[in-house]
């Protein structure tokens, strides 16, 4: 059985602690699913590479080829891992702007494991005060565990280590994608079926209006 996971990293620097956290979360999800006999394909989207395309899309309403490919990777995914740096006690503008240019129902029902990085552990509330409400609004299925990493967390020790939190979140996401769900249609397949039902049930005038809006 195969699953496809899209990884959204909103890190700005190179190297980036945000991308590092996204990579560790992805590796743990792969390991957790491999233990269930599930093969995972990871599609990594570095938003810093699409910053100009995202801004142009917000103005014009049309995505260029590179951003359109990234959006298609989201559409084809069975689940998402999303990580943002923390700015002014919230997600970054680049992170939010990417989700603003997506079709409103694109994440409907998609399992999402999310995380954030920041300069202080005091910013960890960003997970439940900003990021979780965003994905809830988009009707995504958020995992109970989210992962925050401050500089002190890298290489830390104790019961609540970064590695432990990553492993817990990865296990939760793997539980939604694992062998127990074999034979069930993936997120993108269910979405295509739902959109097909919606489109065939609409009058011609509304179909035309939706086509123009897109």
Question: What is the rounded distance in angstroms from the CA atom of residue 92 to the CA atom of residue 2?
Answer: 32
pTM here?
0.84
**In which band, very low, low, confident or very high, does the pLDDT at 211 lie, cut at 50, 70 and 90?**
very low
**Residues forming beta bridges with residue 2, ordered by sequence position:** 39
- CATH assignment at residue 152: 3.40.50.360
SS3 of residue 20 by DSSP: helix
Least confident of 62-66, 99-103, 104-108, 157-161: 157-161
Residue 208 lies in a domain: no
Overall number of domains in the chain: 1
25-68 per-position pLDDT tens digit: 999 999 999 999 999 999 999 999 999 999 999 999 899 999 99
**Residue pair 86/116 in contact by the 8 Å Cβ criterion:** yes
Whether residue 145 lies inside any domain: the answer is: yes
Start-end of H helices in the chain = 17-34, 51-60, 65-76, 93-100, 126, 132-137, 162-177, 187-201, 204-213
Q: What is the span of the domain harbouring residue 60?
A: 2-184
């Amino acid at each position: 059985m195969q699953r496809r996971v899209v990884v959204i990293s909103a890190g700005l620097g190179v190297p980036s602690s945000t991308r590092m956290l996204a990579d560790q979360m992805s590796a743990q999800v792969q390991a957790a699913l491999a233990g269930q006999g599930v093969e995972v394909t990871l599609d990594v989207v570095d938003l810093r590479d699409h910053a100009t395309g995202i801004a142009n899309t917000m103005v014009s309403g049309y995505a260029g080829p590179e951003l359109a490919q990234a959006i298609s990777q989201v559409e084809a995914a069975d689940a998402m891992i999303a990580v943002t740096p923390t700015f002014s006690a919230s997600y970054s503008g680049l992170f939010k702007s990417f989700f603003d240019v997506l079709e409103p129902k694109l994440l409907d029902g998609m399992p999402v494991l999310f995380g954030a990085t920041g300069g202080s552990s005091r910013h960890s509330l960003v997970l439940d005060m900003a990021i979780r409400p965003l994905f809830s609004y988009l009707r995504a299925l958020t995992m109970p565990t989210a992962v925050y990493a401050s500089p002190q967390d890298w290489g830390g020790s104790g019961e609540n280590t970064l590695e432990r939190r990553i492993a817990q979140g990865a296990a939760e996401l793997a539980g939604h994608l694992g062998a127990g769900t074999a034979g069930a249609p993936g997120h993108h397949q269910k979405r295509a079926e739902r959109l097909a039902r919606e489109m065939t049930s609409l009058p011609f005038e509304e179909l035309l209006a939706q086509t123009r809006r897109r």
